[in-house]
Amino acid sequence: MYIPRHAEPRLKYFASGYPVVVVTGPRQSGKSALVRHAFPAHHYVSLEDLDQREFAESDPRGFLSQFTEDVILDETQHCPALFSYLQTHVDERQRPGEFILTGSQQFGLLSGITQSLAGRAALLTLPPLAYGELQVARKAASKLDRVLFDGAFPPIFNRGLEPHPWYGNYVRTYLERDVRQLIKVQDLRMFQRFLRLCAGRTGQLLNLSSLASDCGITHNTAKAWISVLEASYIVHLLPPHHQNFNKRLVKTPKLYFLDTGLATWLLGIQNAEQMTTHVQRSALFETWVISELLKAHYNAGEASNLCFWRDRSGHEVDLLIDHGTHLSPLEIKSGQTINRDYFKGLDFWRKLAGKPAGRAWLVYGGDTRQTRSDGTILPWNKIDRKQIVMPIIQKSR
């Protein structure tokens, strides 16, 4: 079953103006299904196929010349040398949407695009399913703990699979394979330990020295492995806001997993019931909210305008949304009951920021929406693209 994706209109828009459109994102996020659904008339070739890959690598001109019609080239990170030949090919034809490329890794893929296809290619990142997409498809869980446990990778919902074993296979068959291709990991058990340590730190400031020490690896190795996880769209490093407001600020990014289902598997959570009392529940809820906002940017083909703010005295706002002319602060709380203390960080920051401060937002684990003088309170299950996510991103105040 194909679940309609919010990114499809943007994908088609890009294809109407660029000869090459590149769809990237984590493995199993639904890239192939999206492009084949959006462009059913395009010829389809997967470079996972060893015969096709060998043809493309040994005779790139002959490989490209066989296509007289528009084509989808899947998993193009396997053949980065092809990009140079694509440049000449598309320059000769000047046909919008002629090549739709997909790839699962940023390394190699993006460098090849920037070097060979600059000005000729549009880039779209496809994340795992947004909650709003699952709601439209009537696949969304109604309980928050189940949403956090299930994650959002399409195969789980398309095929009705149990999340826990699927994520175990995902780590072994895709993530560890990508790691072998990108960097030399002599002990995959050590790398999986590193993954688990990262999951235990989702929502926290990135401390590479602590990660390296706890894992028994060097600081440089930890840095390289984080880069691989970021390039594979497994984690996202949320930057701190740079404006100081006359305060000493934390300058370290925060670490977030892009999918809570993967994080829960790495944390050893066996079922949704365990989530209720788990020590990481609040961090996982924060991770989920931020990932939903990131997905909205990815699906719209936009760069993220999200950051966080924290000073060295402990004052913090979970998220700042930079609109250019002003900043909207957003706080994330997993509790089901609204507490006045939830607004302390928001109130402190807005007084400090003054004019640049936009309307405050609070996303919480309850189910009632409220509009107050000091901000808007959003229930977790109303974070959908049309009603909540895009208004937060786009509205000025």
Do the strands 316-322 and 327-333 form a parallel or antiparallel pair, or are they unpaired? antiparallel
Residue 77 is given by DSSP the state G
Task: Look over the chain and give the mean of its residue pLDDT values, rounded to a whole number.
Answer: 88
pLDDT on residue 396? 37
Percent of the chain at pLDDT above 70? Answer: 91
Q: Using the CB atoms, write b or e for 94-124: b if 16+ within 10 Å.
A: eeebbbbbbbbbbbbbbebbeebbeebbbbb
The pTM of the full predicted model, rounded to 2 decimals, is 0.92
CB contact set of 292 (below 8 Å; sequence gap of 6+): 130, 131, 383, 389
pLDDT on residue 397? 40
Q: What is the mean pLDDT of residues 276-286?
A: 96
In three-state secondary structure terms, 78 is helix
Q: What is the mean pLDDT of residues 102-117?
A: 69
Asked if residue 386 has pLDDT above 70, the reply is no
- pLDDT band at 110; cut points 50, 70, 90: low
Query: Which one has a higher pLDDT value, 386 or 278?
Result: 278
Q: Mind listing the pLDDT tens digit for each residue in 227-258?
A: 889 988 999 999 998 776 666 677 899 999 99
Q: Tell me the β-bridge partners of 368.
A: none
Spatial distance between the Cα atoms of 152 and 288, rounded to a whole number of angstroms:
10
Per residue, what are the HEC states of 190-243?
A: HHHHHHHHHHHCCCEECCHHHHHHHHCCCHHHHHHHHHHHHHCCCEEEECECCC
Q: What is the mean pLDDT of residues 318-332?
A: 87
CA distances from 129 to 117, 291, 295, 364 (A): 29, 10, 8, 21
